[in-house]
């Protein structure tokens, strides 16, 4: 139950084992951060990623191969990716970190789905700003106004 996890967010309390979390986080096939990176890779690498089977622990929001491929153009156009339920019970916003045309990684906000705001405008803007700050060699120190520190204090 999410209410049991407030302030702790233990994976077990959120219905995800450590093994599942590591498995899902180690592939570009699942999650907004994976798509933020994959969108900027060469087409042969994208094909390899899209052909991977979805991990057994993937949630109902994980994209099938054709949808995964189609989503990458949207990521390239918008500059960010959004995922919901790809990791069961979690939501994510991610933005690529680029140096010229080279992808170096992604910045993401991953949190229990019920805590992610319905209006993603602010988390998307903050995530993209953090990625741009890293790209420019700066530091991201922008406060996150949509994060209720009272509910999330650990």
φ/ψ of 96, rounded to 5, equals -70, 150
Report the predicted TM-score, pTM, of the whole model to 2 decimal places. 0.80
Q: How many CB atoms lie within 10 A of CB 104?
A: 13
Q: Give the model's pLDDT for residue 16.
A: 72
Residue 154 included in any domain: no
Residue 19 included in any domain: yes
Residue 152 included in any domain: no
Residue 48 included in any domain: yes
Residue 153 included in any domain: no
Report the C-alpha gap between 138 and 142 in whole angstroms: 12
Task: Please report, for the domain that includes residue 36, its CATH number.
Answer: 3.30.450.40
Q: Answer for the pair 76, 15: CB distance below 8 angstroms, yes or no.
A: no
Residue 59 included in any domain: yes
pLDDT 10s digits, 28-53? 999 999 999 999 999 999 999 999 99
- For residue 6, the enclosing domain spans 2-147
Domain count of the fold of the chain: 1
pLDDT 10s digits, 65-112? 999 999 999 999 999 999 999 988 889 999 999 988 899 999 999 888
Residue 64 included in any domain: yes
Report the C-alpha gap between 108 and 95 in whole angstroms: 6
């Amino acid at each position: 139950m999410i209410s049991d996890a407030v302030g702790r967010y233990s994976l077990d309390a959120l219905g995800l084992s450590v093994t599942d979390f590591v498995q899902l986080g180690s592939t570009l096939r699942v999650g907004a951060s994976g798509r933020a990176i994959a969108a900027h890779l060469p087409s042969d690498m994208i094909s390899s990623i899209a052909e991977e089977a979805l991990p057994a622990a993937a949630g109902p929001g994980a994209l099938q191969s054709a949808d995964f491929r189609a989503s990458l153009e949207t990521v390239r156009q918008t500059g960010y990716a959004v995922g919901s339920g790809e990791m069961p019970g979690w939501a994510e916003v991610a933005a690529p970190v680029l140096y010229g045309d080279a992808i170096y990684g992604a910045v993401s906000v991953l949190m229990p789905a019920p805590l992610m705001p319905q209006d993603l405008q602010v988390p998307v803007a903050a995530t993209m700003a953090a990625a741009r700050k890293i790209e420019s060699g700066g530091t991201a120190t922008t406060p996150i106004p949509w994060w209720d520190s009272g509910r999330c204090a650990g």
